[in-house]
Chains A and B, each alone.
Chain A
Amino acid sequence: MKCGATVFLLPDHELPLINLSAMVRTGSMFEPADKTGLAGLAGSLLRGGGTLTRSREEMDELLEFIGASVETGMDVESAAASLSCLKKDFSKTLGIFSDVLQNPAFSVKKLEIEKAKVIEAIRRRNDEPFDIARRQYRLAIYGPSHPLSRTPEIPEIRSISRADLAEFHKKYYKPGNMMIAVSGDFESAEMIRSLDSAFSGWTGGSVEFPKVEGVNPQMQARAGARQVICAEKDLNQSSLILGHLGIKRHNPDRFALEIMNEILGGNSFTSRLYKEIRTRLGLAYWVGSNFSEPWDLGTLAAGCQTKSQTLGKTARTVLAEMKRITQEEVTEAELKFAKDSTINSFVFRFATPHAIVSQKMSLEYFGFPADYLETYTGKIRRVSAGDVLAAAKKYLHPDKMVLVAVGNKKDFDVPLEEFGQVKTADLTIAE
Chain B
Amino acid sequence: MAFFSASVTWANDPVKGLEKKVAEHSLKNGMKLLILERRGAPLVSFQMMFRAGSVDEESGKSGLAHLFEHMMFKGSQTVGTRDYKAEAPLLDKIDLAARDLMDEESRGEKADSEKIKTLQRRLDTLEAEHQKLLVPSEFEEIYQREGAEGLNAFTGRDMTGFVVNLPSNKWELWPLLEADRMARPVLREFYKERDVVMEERRMRYENDPDGKLWENFLALAYQAHPYGSPTIGWGSDLKRLSRQDAVKFFAGHYAPNNAVVAVVGDVSAPEVIAKCEKYFAGVAPQKLPARPITEEPAQEGERRVRALYDSEPQLLMGFHKPSAPHADNFVFDMIEQILSRGRTSRFHRSIEDKKIAISAWASNGNPGERFPNMIVFGGSPRKPNGNRELETALLSEIDRLKNEKVPARELEKIMNQVESDFIRELASNAGMASRLAYFQAVLGDWRYPFAYLAGIRSVTPEDILRVAQKYLNESNRTVAWLEKPK
- Say whether A and B bind each other: yes
Write the residues of chain A forming the contact surface with B, with a CB cutoff of 8 angstroms: 14-17, 48, 56-57, 60-61, 64-68, 84-88, 113, 116-117, 120-121, 123-124, 126-129, 233-237, 267, 269-270, 274-275, 278-286, 305-307, 337, 340-341, 343-348, 350-352
Q: Assuming A56-B343, A121-B358, A270-B144, what are 7 further A-B pairs, CB within 8 angstroms? A: A14-B40, A15-B427, A57-B344, A113-B352, A116-B382, A117-B358, A234-B310
Min CB gap B232→A, angstroms: 10
- Known contacts A86-B420, A121-B358, A237-B203; decide if A60 and B342 are in contact (CB<8 Å): yes
Which segment of B52-60, B178-186, B190-198, B365-373 sits at the interface?
Answer: B190-198
| Contact (Cβ within 8 A) B427 A279 | no
| Contact (Cβ within 8 A) A279 B202 | no
30 A-B contacts, Cβ less than 8 Å apart?
A: A15-B427, A65-B416, A66-B416, A67-B419, A86-B423, A88-B8, A116-B355, A117-B358, A120-B383, A127-B209, A127-B312, A235-B206, A236-B202, A269-B141, A269-B144, A270-B144, A274-B137, A275-B136, A279-B189, A282-B191, A282-B192, A285-B197, A285-B200, A307-B202, A344-B145, A344-B167, A345-B147, A346-B147, A347-B43, A348-B165
| Contact (Cβ within 8 A) A280 B311 | no
Contact of A16 among B14, B197, B198 (CB under 8 A): B14
Contact of B145 among A306, A340, A350 (CB under 8 A): A340
Min CB gap B338→A, angstroms: 12
Residue with the highest number of chain B CB atoms closer than 10 Å, among A60, A66, A126, A347: A347
| Contact (Cβ within 8 A) B344 A284 | no
In the complex, whether B149 has a CB less than 8 A from a CB of chain A is yes
Complex CA gap A61/B413 in Å reads 9
| Contact (Cβ within 8 A) B192 A350 | no
Contact of A307 among B41, B199, B209 (CB under 8 A): B199
| Contact (Cβ within 8 A) B43 A351 | yes
Closest to A333 in B: B141
Closest to B127 in A: A280
| Contact (Cβ within 8 A) B420 A68 | yes
Q: CB-CB < 8 A to A344: which residues of B?
A: 145-147, 167, 170
Complex CA gap A116/B38 in Å reads 46
Min CB gap B403→A, angstroms: 23
| Contact (Cβ within 8 A) A129 B207 | yes
In the complex, whether B104 has a CB less than 8 A from a CB of chain A is no
Closest to A275 in B: B136
Q: CB-CB < 8 A to A283: which residues of B?
A: 195, 199
Closest 6 CB pairs of A and B: A344-B147, A67-B420, A282-B195, A269-B140, A127-B311, A285-B200
Q: CB-CB < 8 A to A116: which residues of B?
A: 355, 358, 382
Q: CB-CB < 8 A to B8: which residues of A?
A: 88
- Known contacts A127-B209, A235-B207, A351-B41; decide if A280 and B136 are in contact (CB<8 Å): yes
Min CB gap A109→B, angstroms: 9
| Contact (Cβ within 8 A) A270 B344 | no
Min CB gap B125→A, angstroms: 14
| Contact (Cβ within 8 A) B148 A124 | no
Min CB gap A270→B, angstroms: 4
Residue pairs across A and B with CB atoms within 8 Å: the count is: 176
| Contact (Cβ within 8 A) A352 B10 | no
Min CB gap B258→A, angstroms: 26
Min CB gap A289→B, angstroms: 16
Complex CA gap A129/B209 in Å reads 10
| Contact (Cβ within 8 A) B41 A347 | yes
| Contact (Cβ within 8 A) A285 B144 | no
Q: CB-CB < 8 A to A269: which residues of B?
A: 73, 137, 140-141, 144, 151
| Contact (Cβ within 8 A) B358 A120 | yes
| Contact (Cβ within 8 A) B199 A306 | yes
Q: CB-CB < 8 A to B420: which residues of A?
A: 66-68, 85-86
Q: Which chain B residues in 320-365 approach chain A with CB under 8 Å? A: 341-344, 352-353, 355, 358
Q: CB-CB < 8 A to A347: which residues of B?
A: 41-43, 147, 167
| Contact (Cβ within 8 A) A267 B419 | no
Complex CA gap A240/B148 in Å reads 29
Interface mask (B33-70 → A, CB under 8 Å = 1, otherwise 0):
00000001111000000000000000000000000000
In the complex, whether B421 has a CB less than 8 A from a CB of chain A is yes
Complex CA gap A223/B82 in Å reads 44
Complex CA gap A350/B189 in Å reads 37
Complex CA gap A84/B200 in Å reads 37
In the complex, whether B424 has a CB less than 8 A from a CB of chain A is yes
| Contact (Cβ within 8 A) B426 A15 | yes
Complex CA gap A343/B416 in Å reads 41
- Known contacts A65-B412, A65-B416, A270-B141; decide if A352 and B344 are in contact (CB<8 Å): no
Residue with the highest number of chain B CB atoms closer than 10 Å, among A48, A88, A237, A283: A237
In the complex, whether B208 has a CB less than 8 A from a CB of chain A is yes
Q: CB-CB < 8 A to A343: which residues of B?
A: 147
In the complex, whether B118 has a CB less than 8 A from a CB of chain A is no
In the complex, whether B417 has a CB less than 8 A from a CB of chain A is yes
Contact of B427 among A17, A305, A306 (CB under 8 A): A17
In the complex, whether B106 has a CB less than 8 A from a CB of chain A is no
Complex CA gap A337/B137 in Å reads 12
| Contact (Cβ within 8 A) B192 A280 | yes
Q: CB-CB < 8 A to A67: which residues of B?
A: 416-421
Q: Which chain B residues in 135-177 approach chain A with CB under 8 Å? A: 136-137, 140-141, 144-149, 151, 165, 167, 170
- Known contacts A347-B167, A350-B41; decide if A123 and B383 are in contact (CB<8 Å): yes
